[in-house]
Amino acid sequence: MTHNSDRAFRTRAVHDGHGLDPATGAHATPIYATSTFGYGSAERGARLFAGEEQGYFYSRLSNPTVRAFEQKLASLEGLPDAVAFASGMGAVSAVCLTLLSPGDEVIFVAPLYGGTTGFLREVATKFGVTVHEAADEAAVEALAGPRTRLIWVETPTNPRLGIVDLGRVARAARACGALSAADNTFSTPALTRPAEHGIDLVMHSATKYLGGHGDAIGGVVAGPEALLAELRGVGLRHVGASLGPFEAYLFLRGMKTLPLRMQAHCEGAQALAAALDGHPALQALHYPGLRTHPGHAVAARQMSGFGGLVSVDLGSQAAAMTFLNHLQLFTQAVSLGDVESLSCHPGSTTHALLGEAALVRQGVTPGLVRLSVGIEDPADLIRDVLGALAHVPVTGDKRLRP
C-alpha cells in the first residue's frame, strides 16, 4: 500500500491504498476474482488460519482488491485500518454483534437510517441489549452510564439533516467508558473526518458517495487495528458478510474522484436550498448550509462543506407525492450519493418499518421528501424542483421552519 499522511486529501484519494500490481505492474488495481489462494505448505496454512502470519488464503476473509479499498478508506478517514462488508447493514451488524453482549446498553441519536434503527430495536434487543433513543447530545450525556457500551450517531442525520456535535458525543462516550461510532455516509471523509473529533469507529454505506455511481453495494468500518481485527473475525469469519472483489474495484475507482464529486454535490445542494428558501409551498426546508438551520454553526465547525442532500416538507403526504411525481431530473429511488439526482419519500420507503409512533417522534413527517442532489448543472435542478413545486397547492399557513 502507498500511504503518505503529508499529502493533500485529493492526492491521497487518487494514490493511497494501492500501487502498481506487484505481479504484473498493472496500473489499475486488478480484480482478484478467486475464492481461494494457495499457501504453499501445510505449515504456512496453519499459521495463516491461526492468525500468526498475514496473507491471503480465502476471499471471505481477505482479498487483495478488497484490501486495497479498505486501506484507501482508512487513509482518507485518518484511521489505522478498515474492514469492508457486503453492505452498509453488514457493517452495522458486524459492529453490533462484535461489540455488544447481554446486559450492555446502546444509545443512538435519532433519527438514524431506518435500517440501523431497525437492527438495534428488532435484533440487538433479542440478545439482551438495552437500546436508548436520544433526541440530542444533552440526552446522550444524561443517558450514558456504566452499562453503556456503544453510542451511535449520524451527522447529518437521515433524513432531516440534523447536525450532531461529534466532539461532544465522543467526550460523553469516553466519560462512561463506552465506544463511539459515527455513520459518515452523508458527509464522507471529504467533508468530515469523525476521528479528528474523537470518534472511535467510522462507518459508511459505500453504496452511496464512496462508489458514487449507483452500481455497487457495500459497507466499510474504519478504526483501531485491534478492534477491527475483532470485527473482521465476527463479521466475515462467523457471519460471512463479505464484500466481493468486483464491488471493491468499483469503490476504488469511485473514491479517486470523491473530492471532486463532493464539491459538485455541495455546490448544487447549496444553490438549490438558497432557491427554495422562503418558497410558499414548503412547510420546512432542511439544509445545514443555511444560516437558519439550527445546526449550522456546528456544521460549519466540523464540516468543510454542507453536503449534497436537501430535505423539504410539503405539509402532507399527498402534497409530497404530487411533488415527487412531477420531478423530471430527480429519479424516484431510494439510496443517495449518485452522480444522478434522486428523490424519495422516507416515511413510506427508507423509514417505513419504524412505525407511525417512531416516525412522529423523530420528525419524519408525512410531507417530508429527501432530495439527493447529483452533479448536474444546478440551474437545471433548480428549474426542475421549482417546476414540480408549481403543481403543489399552497393551502393554509405554510411558514418556513428550519
For the four alpha carbons of 103, 351, 288 and 292, in that order, the dihedral sign comes to: negative
SS3 222: strand
User: What does each C-alpha distance from 355 to 116, 321, 347, 351, 360 come to in angstroms?
Assistant: 14, 19, 9, 8, 9
Look up residue 350 and give its DSSP letter: T
Distance CA 51, CA 246 (A): 26
Three-class SS state of 312: strand
Q: Which cell goes with 122?
A: 428488532
Q: Identify the CA nearest to 54 among candidates 69, 35, 73, 67.
A: 67
Catalytic residue numbers read 60, 113, 183, 208
The partner residues of 369 in beta bridges, in order of sequence, read: 312
The three three-digit cell numbers of residue 178, written as one number: 463506552
Residue pair 228/195 in contact (Cβ under 8 Å)? The answer is no
Query: Per the structure block, which three cell numbers stand in for 176?
Result: 462512561
